[in-house]
């Protein structure tokens, strides 16, 4: 350890399509929606994270909310840079210091991101004083966070269902053997619910309401052992224009999400069919691991298990598996150097 190391702070960041999390000194210090709000007149970013997410769907002409990484690609480079920088500057221990100290960072990025976009993320981190910035792919970080020893000559399958993308990967010997990234995940589930309410109940609900429905009664199968109770949903009647309330069961939501979940299942099956036989044999024994917010959908583990005839396990605290893994990598960077993106 050199003198310089005493002044270097270590930061692990999960730059997700829906949520960004940061670990500093072994603790989660940022856990916020990946969203910024911009003033259209001045072009300035006026809010980030939770504050910006409260504005979503309620903005007027002069304010726009942006999710810079919405579909797993960087839609707005400037907004994404501001978001990264504001999140880092919001870390309590760094806020107290007069200058941002030198940072050693590991940042986890969606797999679909291009090289140009990777460079942009790296440069954004360097501009907030990132002296050493490493990038890592999401399924790899998720696997480490779940507690899998990814260096072993053994195959493991990870399915990470986030906001914008679902990432499926088979890992062995510290590398990704085969993988697939599909743009069917939490955001699509939310839109499915909006569409279902409109077409089946003539009820217009906003994104926020649909997201609440998904979390409160969302399900992947219609025959849950212990299903949640029905939910009262308010929205605008499309025929009369008046506000209206209806009762919705989890079975209806399972119907609404069925097609999208099927597409995730297809991607899992396709990845399995591309897996070399020795690794397929390992996965037969170890099963499939689910991570990401989408894995909290009731009955999704059971459904994937029925489809694949494999045991399926949900990561502990699945929304934080990736940042946990990224945090483990920064703590032991020499061990994991070979798995970082070159
Ligand atoms: N209990 C839940 N049931 C279903 N979906 C959920 C639940 N909690 C969070 N989500 C969804 O998970 C997604 C965010 O997951 P996350 O892993 O943070 O995504 P990302 O890594 O892409 O940022 C959102 O679409 C959110 O609506
Ligand atoms: Mg994620």
What tens digit of pLDDT does each residue of 180-220 get?
999 999 999 999 999 999 999 999 999 999 999 999 999 99
340 is in an annotated binding site: no
pLDDT in tens, 82-99: 999 999 999 998 888 877
pLDDT for 279 beyond 90: yes
> Which atom of ligand 1 lies closest to the CA of 20?
23
pLDDT in tens, 142-194: 999 999 999 999 999 999 999 999 999 999 999 999 999 999 999 999 999 99
Tokens matching residue 96: 């107290």
> Which atom of ligand 1 lies closest to the CA of 164?
22
pLDDT for 1 beyond 70: no
Report the b/e string of 244-261 with b at 16+ CB within 10 A. Answer: bebebbbbbbbebbeebb
Please name every residue paired with 65 in a beta bridge, in sequence order, or none if there are none: 37
Q: Which among 102, 125, 175, 95 is positioned nearest to 340, based on CA atoms?
A: 175
More confident residue, 194 or 72: 194
Query: How many residues are there in the chain?
Result: 342
Predicted structure pTM score: 0.95
pLDDT value of position 98: 77
Q: Which among 220, 206, 186 is positioned nearest to 71, based on CA atoms?
A: 186
Ligand 1 pocket mutation pick from 20, 163, 293 by most atoms within 8 angstroms of CB? 293
Report whether residue 184 contacts ligand 1, using a CB cutoff of 6 Å: no
pLDDT value of position 60: 81
Report whether residue 72 contacts ligand 1, using a CB cutoff of 6 Å: no
Report whether residue 130 contacts ligand 1, using a CB cutoff of 6 Å: no
pLDDT value of position 59: 75
Report whether residue 317 contacts ligand 1, using a CB cutoff of 6 Å: no
Report the b/e string of 177-188 with b at 16+ CB within 10 A. Answer: bbbbbbbbbbbb
Q: Interhelix angle for 300-308 vs 250-273, to 10°? A: 40
More confident residue, 254 or 58: 254
Ligand 1 pocket mutation pick from 13, 14, 18 by most atoms within 8 angstroms of CB? 18
Distance CA 141, CA 149 (A): 11
Positions of CATH 3.90.640.10 in the chain:
186-256
pLDDT value of position 6: 65
More confident residue, 269 or 97: 269
Task: Give the pLDDT band (50/70/90) at residue 255.
Answer: very high
Q: Which ligand is nearest to the CA of 69?
A: 1
pLDDT value of position 96: 83
Q: Which ligand is nearest to the CA of 295?
A: 1
CATH C-level class of 186-256: alpha beta
List Cβ neighbours of 134 (8 Å cut-off, separation of 6 or more): 105, 106, 107, 329, 333, 340, 341
Report whether residue 281 contacts ligand 1, using a CB cutoff of 6 Å: no
pLDDT value of position 3: 53
Q: What is the mean pLDDT of the chain?
A: 95
Positions of CATH 3.30.420.40 in the chain:
150-184+261-319
pLDDT value of position 107: 98
pLDDT for 296 beyond 70: yes
pLDDT for 9 beyond 60: yes
pLDDT value of position 111: 84
Tokens matching residue 310: 């494999």
List Cβ neighbours of 277 (8 Å cut-off, separation of 6 or more): none
Distance CA 265, CA 188 (A): 15
Three-state DSSP at 203 gives strand
**β-strand pairing of 175-182 with 166-172:** antiparallel
pLDDT in tens, 216-235: 999 999 999 999 999 999 99
Report whether residue 297 contacts ligand 1, using a CB cutoff of 6 Å: yes
Question: What is the fold of 150-184+261-319?
Answer: Nucleotidyltransferase; domain 5 (3.30.420)
H or E stretch covering 312: strand 312-314
Distance CA 291, CA 318 (A): 5
Residue owning tokens 């569409």? 195
Q: Interhelix angle for 138-146 vs 321-331, to 10°? A: 90
pLDDT for 4 beyond 90: no
Cα(61) to centroid(ligand 2), Å: 31
pLDDT value of position 191: 98
């Amino acid at each position: 350890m050199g003198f310089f190391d005493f002044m270097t702070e270590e930061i692990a960041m999960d730059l997700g399509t829906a949520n960004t999390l940061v670990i500093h000194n072994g603790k989660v210090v940022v856990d916020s929606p990946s969203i910024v709000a911009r003033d259209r007149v001045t072009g300035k970013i006026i809010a980030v994270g939770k504050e910006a997410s409260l504005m979503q769907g309620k903005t007027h002409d002069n304010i726009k909310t942006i999710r810079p990484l919405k579909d797993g690609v960087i839609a707005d480079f400037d907004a994404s840079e501001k978001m990264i920088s504001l999140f880092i500057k919001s870390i309590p221990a760094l806020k107290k210091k007069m200058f941002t100290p030198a940072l050693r960072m590991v940042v986890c990025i969606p797999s679909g991101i291009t090289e140009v976009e990777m460079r942009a993320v790296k440069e954004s981190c360097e501009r907030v004083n990132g002296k050493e910035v490493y990038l890592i792919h999401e399924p790899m970080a998720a696997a480490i966070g779940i507690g899998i020893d990814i260096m072993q000559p053994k195959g493991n399958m990870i399915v990470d269902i986030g906001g914008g993308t679902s990432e499926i990967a088979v890992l062995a010997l510290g590398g990704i053997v085969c993988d697939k990234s599909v743009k069917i995940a939490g955001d699509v589930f939310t839109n499915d619910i909006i569409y279902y309410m409109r077409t089946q109940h003539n009820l217009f609900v906003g994104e926020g309401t649909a997201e609440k429905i998904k979390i409160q009664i969302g399900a992947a199968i219609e025959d849950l052992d212990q299903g949640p109770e029905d939910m009262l949903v308010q929205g605008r009647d499309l025929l009369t224009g008046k506000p209206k309330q209806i009762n919705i069961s989890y079975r209806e939501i399972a119907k609404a999400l069925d097609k999208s979940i099927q597409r995730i299942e297809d991607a899992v099956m396709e990845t399995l069919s591309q897996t070399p036989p020795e690794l397929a044999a390992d996965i037969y024994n170890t099963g499939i691991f689910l991570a990401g917010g989408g894995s909290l959908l009731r009955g999704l583990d059971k459904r994937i298990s029925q489809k694949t005839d494999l045991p399926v396990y949900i990561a502990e605290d699945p929304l934080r598996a990736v940042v946990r893994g990224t945090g483990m990598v920064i703590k032991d960077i020499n061990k994991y150097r070979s798995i970082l993106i070159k």
